[in-house]
Amino acid sequence: MSRTTHRVGFALVATAYGATMAAGSVPTPLYVLYQHRNHFGTTMVSVVSAVYVVGVVVGLLLAGARADRVGRRTVLGVALVVQLLACLVFVLWPALSGILLARVLSGLSIGLLSGPATAYLIELHRAARPEAAREHAEIVATAANLGGIAAGPLLSGLLAEWAPAPLRLPFVSIGAVLALAALLVAVVPETARPVVRPWSRPLALAPERRLLFLASCLGGLVAFAMFGLFSALSPSFLAGTLGHTSHALAGLVAFLGLGAGAVAQLGLRRLPPRRAMTTVVVLMPLGLGLVVGGVWATALVPFVLGGVLTGAGAGLLFRACLTTVVQLSPVERRAGTLATLFVTSYAGLAIPVIGLGIASQLAGPRGALAGFAALALVGLAAVATVRLRPDPPPLSSAGAAL
């Protein structure tokens, strides 16, 4: 295959990755409408979010065991079809049972996609530009991940506010994009040669620098907990605590918080490793402080600004963790180690939804949010302690980590 073919394939896979992630986050501003239509409360929203994470974990386990066996393109194609099926269920079966099934399917698609798509982009980039640094592919992968998650709520929020059929049109629109992406991905060259061998372990640890690997997984969990705060709960805080019921505003706030993560990865990609982690340690506490302060003071501006700063810090943290895991992983175990990172990271999406839902019943939404922020900062401190050690032991040929 020519380098041009791989370069075009790289762009197509990145687009498909972002579109699938966007489809997974489209329901964010729509939960208020579903609650009104189907007469369920915030507890059921937590259940819907939990089944989504269950689907993600199942998909990650399946992909971790089989992605190296059947090839990247096959797994990516299956993920696109499953996400398209989830959109179809949302359109045709808007009852609560349909919503639950659609979220399981959507999560399954995301789980199937995340690790193999990242590996696919790295391998396509290496084939297209063997002389270029690998970090470019990793940045594009995380930007497609977070950029897609950010774009979904913005799309559905705008359509829900100003277009007809707010519970159907967003899924029809993103479904059309997914269908086109599935057709285009079919022509992307395969980079992993399918082999006949025993099923690999779905999860794996990097054989070197285990503590750094585990800290990276914890960092991914902390980062995705921040994303979960804005992808699932920002509409509830806006409507229930801050008094803003606009669906467009809910989508915009989620977009700003999540989009800041993608922008930070691109804008701060040249920061040296230690300075990048130091930036995270500054941005996330400051952002969380503004978010909590905005909720306690019933003030929209600090809430939104805090979301942007928190999202930027979380995006930079996740990119650092992803880069570390890739660099510490042998090629033959890359799918399993990436699956381990994504399993722990996506578990973070469920923590704010389920934990805050339970804590809100005991301490109210303001107290629950403050407690969540405190726990997140404890986790960040643990990650920073490992990553900012003054004299880390030298790495092997896998490369410097961050």
The residue segments making up the domain with residue 212 are 3-189+202-387
Most confident of 248-252, 299-303, 364-368: 299-303
Amino acid identity for residue 378 in this structure: V
> pLDDT tens, 212-222?
888 989 999 99
Q: What is the pLDDT of residue 107?
A: 93
Q: What is the mean pLDDT of the chain?
A: 83
Q: Which helix (H) or strand (E) holds 96?
A: helix 96-128
In a domain, 398, yes or no: no
Q: Is the pLDDT of residue 323 over 90?
A: no
Q: What is the pLDDT of residue 331?
A: 67
Q: Is the pLDDT of residue 183 over 90?
A: yes
Q: What is the pLDDT of residue 326?
A: 79
> pLDDT tens, 249-259?
888 888 888 88
In a domain, 148, yes or no: yes
Would the pTM count as exceeding 0.85? no
Give the percent of the chain with pLDDT over 70: 86
| CB neighbours of residue 391 within 10 Å | 5
CATH number at residue 312: 1.20.1250.20
In a domain, 23, yes or no: yes
In a domain, 196, yes or no: no
Q: Residue 398 — very low, low, confident or very high, per pLDDT cuts 50/70/90?
A: very low
Q: Is the pLDDT of residue 108 over 90?
A: yes
| CB neighbours of residue 63 within 10 Å | 31
Return the higher-pLDDT residue of 4 and 401: 4
Q: How many domains does the chain have?
A: 1
C-alpha distances out from residue 245 to 40, 157, 238, 240, Å: 18, 11, 7, 8
Over residues 170-194, the mean pLDDT reads 89
* CA–CA separation, 338 and 325 (whole Å): 7
Q: Is the pLDDT of residue 305 over 50?
A: yes
R_g (Cα) of the chain, nearest Å:
20
Residue-wise DSSP of 334-347? HHHHHHHHHHHHHH
Rounded to 10 deg, the angle between the 135-162 and 96-128 helix axes is: 150
Which of 289, 360, 292, 345 is closest to 315 using CA atoms? Answer: 345
In a domain, 37, yes or no: yes
C-alpha distances out from residue 45 to 34, 323, 356, Å: 9, 33, 12
In a domain, 394, yes or no: no
Q: What is the pLDDT of residue 402?
A: 41
In a domain, 399, yes or no: no
Q: Contact 9/72 with Cβ under 8 angstroms?
A: no
In a domain, 24, yes or no: yes
